[in-house]
Amino acid sequence: MPVNTRVRRLLIGLVATVAAVVLGAVGTDFGAAIYAEYRLSRNVRSAAGLNWDPWVAILGFPFIPQARNHQYREIEIRAHGVEHPVVGKASLEATLHDIDITEASWLIRPDAPMHVGKVESRIIIDSTHVGRFMNIEDLLVEAPSRETNDATGGTTESGISGSQGLVFTGTPKASGLDKRVSVAVDLSLTGPAETTLVLTATGILTGPNTADEQVPDDKMAAVLKEFSTAIAGQKLPFGLAPTSAGARGSDIIIEGIAEGVTIDLNGFRLS
């Protein structure tokens, strides 16, 4: 057999062996990450009293060195349609950055403390449940028309609009009207630990991207009152103080951001 042929076969065998080792290592890392996410999801479900496994992700590759060093780069947790005593259902989200899991193990026990460099937590209420709370069944919530409302154009990193001048569109039947109107609404937070979301209607909106329906002067006060309310019990995951409130898509979102905090999974759902 020619020397060149033997060398070529040797190189092919070597490359195949290295590729198999690399693929095996990647597969092992991927499998470990999937298992850790599964266990984290189950532990969040148990700690939060959910009836299903929430979506979770442990981000960053490779995974195994992070677990070995007891330091995860980023964790995301999302639980949609969670039972809420005030609005019926809400969604809960949290994004954790630079998580020290020394005391929690790589599978993160529900009651074990985690020291986190930065926490972002959100409670999300969709238009349907806001409308039911306000007795405006066809309510649609939108960001102020002057603002973009996506993950790159909003006023926060998570794409949440500002809190002033949100567009609420619906039929104020209690005020004696049978047509949809659009109302400018400001959001604010008040009460103990700022857990009450206050919606204050400030005026009727007409023109593009609204219902473009005028309200008679004798109905104006009643309509503004019907589009104003207070929604209590808005406790953010992990007990963070709210730092912003606004709209994203057709949802109202309250968000809190804090740095250098210690949390455990039992604090994910507080209401």
The answer to whether 214 and 95 are in contact (CB under 8 A) is no
Three-state SS string over the chain comes to CCHHHHHHHHHHHHHHHHHHHHHHHHHHHHHHHHHHHHHHHHHHHHHHCCCCCCEEEEECCCCHHHHHCCEEEEEEEEEEEEEECCCEEEEEEEEEEEEECCCCCCCCCCCCCEEEEEEEEEEEEEHHHHHHHHCCCCCEEECCCCCCCCCCCCCCCCCCCCCCCEEEEECCHHHCCCCCEEEEEEEEEECHHHCEEEEEEEEEECCCCCCCCCCCHHHHHHHHHHCCEEECCCCCHHHCCCCEEEEECCEEEEEEEEEEEEECHHHCCCC
Q: How many CB atoms lie within 10 A of CB 155?
A: 17
Q: What is the mean pLDDT of each run of 10 residues along the chain (271 residues)?
A: 57 52 58 91 96 94 91 96 96 97 91 96 97 97 70 57 96 96 97 94 95 96 98 96 95 97 96 84
Q: What is the pLDDT of residue 155?
A: 45
Q: What is the pLDDT of residue 32?
A: 84
Q: What is the pLDDT of residue 30?
A: 82
Q: What is the pLDDT of residue 145?
A: 76
Q: What is the pLDDT of residue 196?
A: 97
